[in-house]
Amino acid sequence: MRKSNEVKKGLMSDFNFKIRSKKIISECFKEAGIHDFYEACSYITSLPYKRNEDKNDLTTVFSDGFGTCSTKHAVLKQLAMEHKKDEVKLMLGIVKMSGVNTPAVRSTLEKNGLTYIPEAHNYLFVNGARIDCTKKNFVVTENDIFLQTEIQPEMITEFKVGYHQRFLLKWLNENPTIKLSFEDLWKVREECIKDLYN
């Protein structure tokens, strides 16, 4: 399978657009020396993975110099919206986060008796192709995705958490062999997220 950055480059050669808007996110990219959508995707991918203090203010991706799958893809979606590029969809998927697709979390999962944990993950769809700018060479396959839905940038906070937690409760009920409470499972999830920090 091609790495995510190669997929992005091939796709953007057909889709790419210049950053011309004077709206706030566009201006943030221009101030960072970014001139088109492909460059924006590459720039966002290169930023370290770490939680932003204020996920409601997407400019913090630039002031902090880092982001998560939520803020990184929301800021790219916002950039597309500022240019009326409806082809760019912000997606929320529930994916299998395992030691295979996310080696950094393997130890945490294993010590808690898990081979994977369902994680709420954001990415883009552009003309039917999935674009993931979370980290370099980070690839989630179609087989890793339980379900997905389109969202808007403002939905990466409360909506995303609620959507994720409802799925986890359902998943626990359907898998009685997992001897973890919901609260303990959420703690495991939080530890996994910390494992991803650069």
64 and 35 fall within a common domain: yes
pLDDT beneath 50: ranges in the chain: 1-7
The count of structural domains within the chain is 2
22 and 97 fall within a common domain: no
40 and 95 fall within a common domain: no
pLDDT of residue 9: 52
32 and 115 fall within a common domain: no
Domain termination site, one of 47, 62, 82: 82
pLDDT of residue 6: 46
pLDDT of residue 159: 97
pLDDT of residue 8: 52
CA distance 152 to 164: 16
Model pLDDT for residues 13-43, shown as the tens digit of each residue: 578 999 999 999 999 999 999 999 999 999 9
163 and 126 fall within a common domain: yes
Structure tokens at 198: 């650069």
CA distance 143 to 166: 21
pLDDT of residue 14: 76
pLDDT of residue 1: 27
pLDDT of residue 13: 57
Structural domain containing residue 150:
88-195
CA distance 21 to 6: 27
Domain termination site, one of 82, 113, 134: 82
Q: Output the CA–CA distances (angstroms, integers) from residue 156 to 11, 37, 55, in the order listed.
A: 25, 21, 8
pLDDT of residue 12: 56
